[in-house]
Amino acid sequence: MFRGIGSSADAVNAKAYIIGAYPRSIIVREDCSDIEVVVTGDLNSVVEQFLNTYGLIKSKDLKHDGRYVFVPSPYNEGDYIRMGRARLDHHGGAGNIDTEMYCRGFSIDALAISINSKDFGSVIDNAGAIQDIRSKVLRTLHRDLFKEEPSFIYRAVYYTARYELSLEPMTDELLKEAIKAKYINSITAVQKKSELSKIKRGKNKALALQLLNEYNIPGD
């Protein structure tokens, strides 16, 4: 499947990468059905090429959510691949794999693998993701993360509990400052419900709830 997506990207002169959860799952040695692909180039053309190659549904029938299009897996019925354009910054815009890495928020989520034919399997780890995953450390990629995207306050709790991480000292300080500044109040009710649902469904729920309480983060 990955080679199929890569070949589809090759056909339209685009680049494609698996990013986030799946590459991380290889390091921590666990199963992962959350497949996210980032494309630099014409995303719609890559998707169309892939659908045609595997005889899947028409592009007009695909589900969209925010910047992602959900493409059905050709091998596992009911599974989907999230595909999106590489972002220039947190506001959007067309970027490349380097700018997309910076938008990931935390280093452990900024790990990518190229799936184009020419460099299939090449690892892109500009943020030191592998080291942080192995060291079980959660580290922000920039100081304004929690201010610019307050939902990452909840994601810090999710990742810390899910992978039993410790917060890097600067990340811990920034998180506390963000909570004190009440940036979290700008999160919509829908966003908050979604983030809390993920936390409560995740691994180590008890630890996650403990962290919410310790950092005085609203949990309802």
- Give residue limits of the domains in the chain: 1-135, 136-220
Model confidence pLDDT, tens digit, residues 82-124: 999 999 887 778 899 999 998 999 999 999 999 999 999 999 9
The lowest-confidence range among 50-59, 91-100, 101-110, 146-155 is: 50-59
Q: What mean pLDDT is predicted for residues 162-185?
A: 96
Widest pairwise Cα distance in the chain: 52
Mean pLDDT, the chain, integer = 91
Structure tokens at 18: 């698996």
Q: What mean pLDDT is predicted for residues 51-71?
A: 79
CATH placement of domain 1-135: 3.30.460.10
Would you state the pLDDT for residue 94?
85
Q: Are strands 80-85 and 35-40 parallel, antiparallel or unpaired?
A: parallel
Pick among 1.10.110.30, 3.40.50.300, 3.40.50.150, 1.25.40.10: CATH of 136-220: 1.10.110.30
pLDDT at 164 exceeding the cut of 90? yes
Which range scores top for mean pLDDT: 1-10, 59-68, 165-174? 165-174
- CA torsion sign for 47, 25, 200, 73 is positive
Chain centroid to CA 172:
21
pLDDT at 76 exceeding the cut of 80? no
Would you state the pLDDT for residue 59?
65
Q: Are 116 and 16 in contact (CB under 8 A)?
A: yes
What's the CA angle centered on 152, arms 151 and 158, to 5 degrees?
105
pLDDT at 220 exceeding the cut of 80? no
Listed in sequence order, the residues at least 6 apart from 179 whose beta carbon sits closer than 8 Å to its beta carbon are 153, 215, 216, 217
CA–CA separation, 85 vs 92, rounded Å? Answer: 9
CA–CA separation, 37 vs 56, rounded Å? Answer: 18
Q: What mean pLDDT is predicted for residues 15-25?
A: 96
